[in-house]
Amino acid sequence: MNLLEKLDFPTAFRELSPILIQGLGIVLGATLCGFFLALLLGTLIALGRISKVVLLDRMLIILLEIVRGTPLLVQLVYMYYVVPLLITIVGQLWDPSFRFTLSPFTAGVIGLGINYGCYLSEVIRSAITSVDKGQFEAALALGYTNRQAMWLIVIPQAVRIALPTFGNYIIMMIKDTSLLAFITVSELLLRTQAYASQTFLTIESYTLLALAYLVLSLPLAQIVRIMERRLTRHV
């Protein structure tokens, strides 16, 4: 029979939509947690590198090279399957009954957070260094300590500079949560795969999946643009 005649989008939409909507929470949850972790790590790495402590800088550069030189998918698999085993091995040095596991979701969030944290650290670092040095000095002259000047005066301005880039990274991360399917997180891709293999509605299922990602990322891109305009009004 002709493939075209067998197309049944209404059925696929009716049956797959609720399944996708259930998976949406996982996608948004993983993105939110992952991005928060990435921001935290990224800021710490950026500040570590700006601090000009040579040893710290070297170590951070090695970390960045490892993370940027390996695929995200491999990192996620490593975080889920290998890291718990490594921790178990170390833990058993003290307590032979020690066992350590990570849930797929937690491993995924940590993996996304570390990977994106490394990329964000470069964004944050260049944003911080692009803030005029005079801003820092003006704050010091008013009596701010180095730390206060950095966190209260320089970083808020750096955030404004970096914000559009952050927005783009969030959208990228939403799409990259699909990789969590490979470590058994039942996000959108894994659910769609299951549905498609049961119903053989292959074209319909994956088309709807792609549309679901578009529905998520397009409005976000718009929000990022609006925020960018508002925040950079006076910079």
Partner 1 sequence: MCDVMIEVRDLRKSFGSNEILKGINMTVKKGEKVVIIGPSGSGKSTFLRCLNFLEIPTSGTVRIDGHYFVKPNEKLNEKHVAALRTEIGMVFQRFNLFPTMTALENVMAAQMKIRKKSKEAARETAEKYLRKVGLAERMNYYPSQLSGGQQQRVAIARALAMEPKAMLFDEATSALDPELVGEVLNVIRELAEEGMTMVLVTHEMKFAKEVGDRIIFMDGGVIVEEGHPKEFFHHPKEERTKAFIKKVEH
Binding residues for partner 1, rule: CB under 8 A, are 132, 134-135, 137-146, 148, 152-153, 156-157, 160, 233-235
* Nearer of residues 153 and 196 to partner 1, judged by Cβ: 153
Q: How far apart are CA 11 and CA 156, in angstroms?
A: 50
Q: What 3-state DSSP class applies to 208? A: helix
Q: How far is the CB of 148 from partner 1 (least distance, A)?
A: 7
Q: How far apart are CA 170 and CA 113, in angstroms?
A: 11
Q: How far is the CB of 162 from partner 1 (least distance, A)?
A: 14
Structure tokens that stand for 100 in this block: 């350590």
Q: How far is the CB of 55 from partner 1 (least distance, A)?
A: 22
Cβ pair 30, 187 in contact under 8 A: yes
Cβ pair 189, 178 in contact under 8 A: yes
Q: Which residue type is seen at 62? A: I
* Nearer of residues 71 and 156 to partner 1, judged by Cβ: 156
Q: How far is the CB of 145 from partner 1 (least distance, A)?
A: 5
- Interior CA angle at 7 toward 6 and 13, to 5°? 135
Q: How far is the CB of 165 from partner 1 (least distance, A)?
A: 18
* Nearer of residues 65 and 132 to partner 1, judged by Cβ: 132
* Nearer of residues 153 and 173 to partner 1, judged by Cβ: 153
* Nearer of residues 160 and 191 to partner 1, judged by Cβ: 160
C-alpha distances out from residue 23 to 27, 146, 177, Å: 7, 45, 11
